[in-house]
Amino acid sequence: MSCDAYKPLLMGYLDRELPEAEVALVEAHLAGCSDCASEIESFRRLKEVTQDMRVVTPDDRYWDQYWSNVYNRLERRVGWILISIGTILLGSYGLYELLMEALYDLGLPRTVRVGIAALVLGFCTLLVSVVRERIFLSKSDKYERIKR
């Protein structure tokens, strides 16, 4: 085995994670390779210098509240969905009424009636497009392709 093949094993040796057979293999290699012996010594010193350091973690109260924060976000999402549905329904009804009034009010200039019709149709087109995209996304798992 070349030195490159031993490099990852040096980590397992340093962290006492290797099975006995591999420990013997690594020790035999280290006895005959000054580069690897020097490298593992350097990593050993790095480990000693940092051995009692830990990443500062949030206080216990953050962990105690962690699940309730997630729960609240889930609930809020439901709230926003209901608000969105309500807005769309009321907005659609309002636009429908506006469209009907515009189309049947002969007193309004033609430009205004065409403008209102375009506005309403444009809104409906956007809504259909967004809903179709959401349905498509909900049917495919976008996280399958993420590389670990």
Partner 1 sequence: MTQLDDEGAAIERCKSGDREAFGAIVQKYMKPAYYVALGYVGTPDDALDISQDAFVNAFRHIKRFDSSKKFFPWFYSILKNLCMNHLTRVRRRREDSIDAMAEEEGEVRIPLKTASPEQDAARRELERKIGTALLQLRPKEREIIILQHFQDYSYQEIADLLGIPIGTVMSRLYSARRALRKELERLGVRY
Contacts of 120 (CB under 8 A, 6+ apart): 95, 96, 98, 99
Q: Which is nearer to partner 1, 34 or 68 (CB)?
A: 68
Question: Are the C-beta atoms of residues 43 and 26 closer than 8 Å to each other?
Answer: no
Contacts of 27 (CB under 8 A, 6+ apart): 13
Rg, the chain, Cα only: 33
Question: Are the C-beta atoms of residues 117 and 95 closer than 8 Å to each other?
Answer: no
If binding is defined by CB under 8 A, does position 79 make contact with partner 1? no
Selected from 3, 28, 31, 70, the binder of partner 1 by CB under 8 A is 70
- The candidate with the shortest Cα–Cα distance to 3, out of 43, 39, 44, is 39
If binding is defined by CB under 8 A, does position 17 make contact with partner 1? yes
Q: Which of residues 112-141 bind partner 1 (CB under 8 A)?
A: 141
If binding is defined by CB under 8 A, does position 69 make contact with partner 1? yes
Selected from 24, 31, 77, 97, the binder of partner 1 by CB under 8 A is 77
If binding is defined by CB under 8 A, does position 10 make contact with partner 1? yes
If binding is defined by CB under 8 A, does position 20 make contact with partner 1? no
If binding is defined by CB under 8 A, does position 71 make contact with partner 1? yes
d(Cα 119, Cα 95) in Å, to the nearest integer?
9
What's the N-to-C CA distance of the chain in angstroms? Answer: 28
If binding is defined by CB under 8 A, does position 80 make contact with partner 1? no
Selected from 1, 35, 60, 148, the binder of partner 1 by CB under 8 A is 148
* The pair of three-digit structure tokens given for residue 60, joined into one six-digit string: 């216990």
Contacts with partner 1 by CB under 8 A lie at: 7-12, 15, 17, 42-43, 45-50, 52-58, 62-63, 66-67, 69-71, 73-74, 77, 141-144, 146, 148
